[in-house]
Amino acid sequence: MARVAFTTFAIMKQPYGHQEVQGFEDLTPPVFEVAEDSPGFIARAKETDDLTHLTNFERDWGEWGAFSVPRFYTGGFTMSTDTRASTLSLWENIDSVYQFVYKGLHLTALKKRHDWFVKPEWPTYAMWYAEEGEIPTWEEASRKLELLHDNGPTLASFDFKQLFDESGNPFQIRPKVSQDK
């Protein structure tokens, strides 16, 4: 059974360490913790060593491959000029990703994205299916974002606005009905 690969990409208004994006930086570790504790979460790209003095472009990401960004990235590649924010993760299914993205602490951060990030003219996330045992790479994630931008949603790269099952059939997530009265 295939799993869902999920990548996010944004460009911050200022480089890491700048006061204008500090709120984003402060929320990142707890949001990662929530993701890792979420039902359906499998794994996320992490550096193999704690080498915070290196840029993401210099760090070893193990089986997730060398760090890569889509062609939309206009920022720098050094510690003082890096303005990209990106993630890459694996999930059991689309509903698991949806529940994480649109609830709790991640939703709180998502609502503040306009404070921290430049207005995108590109997709800020993409999903695709990964076979059991397959680990998506940063390079693949960059290609999937570009593919979604260039061609719109397809089975190869899609978003929540147009979802596909593993066979390529379009579908929509049905919101869960709350039992609270």
Q: How many residues does the chain have?
A: 181
pLDDT more than 90, % of the chain: 85
Spacing of C-alpha 7 from chain mean position: 3
- Asked if the structure places residue 181 within a domain, the reply is no
Query: What whole-number percentage of the chain has pLDDT above 70?
Result: 95
- The mean pLDDT value for 4-14 works out to 97
Work out how many domains the chain is built from and give that number.
1
Q: Is residue 180 part of a domain?
A: no
176 is a domain residue: no
Query: What value does the mean pLDDT take over residues 75-85?
Result: 93
- Contacts of 42 by beta carbon, 8 Å cutoff, 6+ apart: 3, 89, 90, 91, 92
Q: What is the mean pLDDT of the chain?
A: 92
User: Is residue 57 a part of any domain in this protein?
Assistant: yes
> Is residue 177 domain-resident?
no
Domain of residue 130: give its range. 3-171
CATH of the domain at 110: 3.30.70.100
Question: Taking the CA of residue 93 as centre, how many other CA atoms within 13 Å lie in the half-sphere pointing to its CB?
Answer: 7
Is 176 a residue whose pLDDT tops 70? no
Contact at 8 Å (CB) between 76 and 58? no
Distance, CA of 133 to CA of 171 (rounded, Å): 25
Q: Is residue 178 part of a domain?
A: no
Q: For residue range 125-174, list pLDDT tens digits in order.
A: 999 999 999 999 999 999 999 999 999 999 999 999 999 999 999 988 87
Decide if 8 is inside a domain: yes
67 falls within a domain: yes
